[in-house]
Amino acid sequence: MKTLVIAIGGNSLIQDAHHQSVSDQYAAVVETVRHITDLLERGYRVVITHGNGPQVGFILLRSEHSRGILHQVPLDSIVADTQGALGYQIQQALENEFRRRRLSRSVATIVTQTLVDRKDPAFARPSKPIGEFYSPDQAEERRRVDKWQMVEDAGRGWRRVVPSPQPVRIVESEVIRHLAAGGYIVIAAGGGGIPVVADEKGLLSGVAAVIDKDLASAVLAAQIGADILVISTAVEKAFLRFGTPDQMAIDTMTAAEARRHIAEGHFAPGSMLPKVEACVHFVEKGGGTAVITCPACLSAALDGRTGTRVTR
C-alpha cells in the first residue's frame, strides 16, 4: 500500500472574490475531498497538507480592525488558528463523504510545527508580504509601535513583510507517520506548519515567519517515507513557456531537467516555481515520484495519464 502526501492550496479553497465566506470555503473543500476519497477507495494511504494564505490574510484584517480594542494576534498563532479551522473543514467533509460511500475510515488533524534555522538568511531579508495595504503614515506607525518591517508594494501602498525561511524538519512527523501507517487519514503541516526555532537546549518558540507549504509538504513526505508527493494546483500540468503562444505541457521530467528549466526561468516565482522546487526536493531526498496536477485529475495523474511527473 503506497503512502501519498497531497498538498492542496489555500487559494483553491476560494473560488473567487464573491465566494470567500466560511461556507463558500467549505463547499470548495467538499469538492476537493471527493477526489481524495477516490484515492482512498483505490487503497492509498493519504496525508493531506494545505495552504492558508488567504485565510491568514482574513485574520490579520480582523485583527487590524479590532486594533485598540483587542490584543494583536501573533503570526505563529494565526497559522495555528488556520490549521485548526481548515483542518476541521477538511476533516468534516471527509467524514461526511465516507458516510455517503459507506467507508469505515477515521481522520485526524495534527497541529503541526515546522522547525526552521534561526540563522536562516531569510530572517535578515524579510520578503514575504502579508496583510493589508497601509498609507505611508500608517506604515511608519507600524514600524515604530509594532517593529514591523514595511515595504512599498507596486504603487498600491505599504505592506508588512516577514521572513520565509526554509523548512528544516516537521516536528510532529513521527506522530503523522504512525497515524498514516495505522490507516488514519492525516491532515497536517497546514500553511507550511507553524514556524518555530530551537534554542541551544532544543527548546522551541514560535517566530513571525511564513513557510512555503509545498516545500514543507516535501520535507514532511520525505521524513515519513511517503512513496508519492502530489502538489494539487489550478492547472492539469506544468508548462514550459507558460502563457506564451508556444507553451508546452510537461509530462515527465527528471530532477536534473527540472533544475535546468528552473535556471532558464520557465516557472513563475510564487506560482509554479515553488511547486517544482518542492518536487525536486522530495525526489532528491529519496522519495519515489512527485506529481503536479489539479484536484479533478488526481486519479488519472497517479495512473500516468495526465499531470506532470518528477522523477529522480
Among all residues, which ones are annotated catalytic? 10-11, 128, 213, 275
SS in 3 state form for the chain? CCEEEEEECCHHHCCCCCCCCHHHHHHHHHHHHHHHHHHHHCCCEEEEEECCHHHHHHHHHHHHHCECCECCCCHHHHHHHHHHHHHHHHHHHHHHHHHHHCCCCCEEECCCEEEECCCCHHHHCCCEEEEEEECHHHHHHHHHHHCCEEEECCCCCEEEEECCCCEEEECCHHHHHHHHHCCCEEECCHHHCEEEEECCCCCEEECCCCCCHHHHHHHHHHHCCCCEEEEECCCCCCEECCCCCCCEECCEEEHHHHHHHHHCCCCCCCCHHHHHHHHHHHHHCCCCEEEEECHHHHHHHHCCCCCEEEEC
